[in-house]
């Protein structure tokens, strides 16, 4: 997993609530057996028409916005557990998703892939979306080490929460599997002493 400490970037606004993982990456694109290449089909049916032509009005096609940060409406990533959603966002070049609420499984999947789900209040989210829409060149600074989202034009630093262990993992590029495999002894000990052994 790639390490993450500080990221400075412009952002892409997607002010839609309850964006489900079927929209992020539709099921028909889940047939690949590797992790790569899903970015091409990120938001496929919003981004392209039936003939595969870009829809001019979709935010990623207008040419107005760019950057490594996606700012999206409340309850981002609900629905299917497909990790392909996190892979697609990451593969399309995003490193951070900002929303005022994330679905559980998506959040976990994102963290396991070096994609930071950054939760802000509804109020901050609304201001951010308005700011970016008004000035697409607005730069944001995500400082994971200090757990701060800096908006230089506002001269504001907004702190955010993240699980301490997950933060360590992101900063160091570790993932859970390394940690768990090292627990083998404890796991075997546990197995030998089950209340009801299945």
Partner 1 sequence: MAKTLLDKIWDAHVVKSIPGGLDVFYIDRHLIHEVTSPQAFDEIEARGLPLFRKEQIVATADHNVPTKNQHLPIQEPLSRFQVDKLTENCAKHNIELYGLGHEKQGIVHVMGPELGITQPGMTIVCGDSHTSTHGAFGAIAFGIGTSQVAQVMASQCLLLSKPKSMRITVDGDVRPGVTAKDIILYVISKLGTGGATGYFVEYAGSAFRNLSMEGRMTVCNMSIEMGARGGMIAPDQTTFDYLNGREFAPKGERWDQAVAYWSTLFTEEGAAFDKELTFDAADIAPMITFGTNPGMGMAIDALIPTEVPVSEQASYSKSLQYMGFQPGESLLGKEIQYVFIGSCTNSRIEDLRQVARFVQGKKKAPHVEAIIVPGSKQVEKQAIEEGIDKVLAEAGFELREPGCSACLAMNEDKIPAGAYCVSTSNRNFEGRQGPGSRTLLASPLVAAITAVEGKIVDITQYLN
- Using CB under 8 A, list all residues that contact partner 1: 15-18, 20, 22-23, 26-28, 30-35, 45, 50, 73-75, 78-84, 86, 101-105, 108-109, 112-113, 122, 126, 163-165, 175-177, 179-181, 183-184, 186-187, 190-191, 195-196, 198
CB of 139 to partner 1, least distance (A): 26
Beta strands in the chain (DSSP E): 6-9, 11-14, 69-72, 96-99, 116-119, 140-143, 148-151, 156-159
CB of 84 to partner 1, least distance (A): 8
CA dist 127 and 139 (Å) reads 14
Q: Of the two residues 9 and 81, which places its CB atom closer to partner 1 in the complex?
A: 81
Q: Of the two residues 53 and 155, which places its CB atom closer to partner 1 in the complex?
A: 53
Instruction: Return the bridge partners of 119, or none.
Output: 99
Q: Of the two residues 137 and 168, which places its CB atom closer to partner 1 in the complex?
A: 168
CB of 179 to partner 1, least distance (A): 7
Give the number of residues written for the chain.
Answer: 198
CB atoms within 10 A of CB 68: 18
Q: Of the two residues 35 and 127, which places its CB atom closer to partner 1 in the complex?
A: 35
Nearest 5°: the CA angle 103, 89, 61 is 115
CB of 104 to partner 1, least distance (A): 5
First-to-final CA distance of the chain: 35
Q: Of the two residues 126 and 141, which places its CB atom closer to partner 1 in the complex?
A: 126
CB of 111 to partner 1, least distance (A): 9
Nearest 5°: the CA angle 47, 53, 56 is 55
């Amino acid at each position: 997993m790639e390490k993450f400490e500080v990221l400075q970037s412009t952002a892409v606004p997607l002010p839609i609530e309850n964006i489900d993982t079927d929209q992020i990456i539709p099921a028909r694109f889940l047939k690949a057996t590797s992790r790569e290449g899903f970015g091409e089909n990120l938001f496929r049916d919003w981004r392209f028409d039936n003939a595969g032509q870009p829809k001019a009005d979709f935010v990623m096609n207008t040419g107005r916005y760019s950057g490594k940060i996606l700012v999206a409406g409340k309850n981002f990533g609900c629905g299917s557990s497909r990790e392909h959603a996190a892979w697609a966002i990451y593969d399309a070049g995003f490193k951070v998703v900002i929303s005022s609420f994330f679905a559980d499984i998506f959040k976990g999947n994102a963290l396991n892939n070096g994609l930071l789900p950054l939760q802000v209040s509804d109020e901050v989210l609304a201001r951010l979306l308005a700011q970016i829409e008004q000035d697409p060149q607005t730069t944001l600074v995500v400082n994971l080490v200090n757990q701060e989202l800096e908006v230089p034009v506002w001269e504001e630093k907004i702190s955010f929460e993240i699980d301490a262990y997950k933060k360590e993992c992101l900063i160091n590029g570790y993932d859970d599997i390394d940690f768990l495999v090292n627990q083998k002894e404890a796991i075997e000990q546990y197995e030998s002493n089950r209340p009801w052994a299945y």
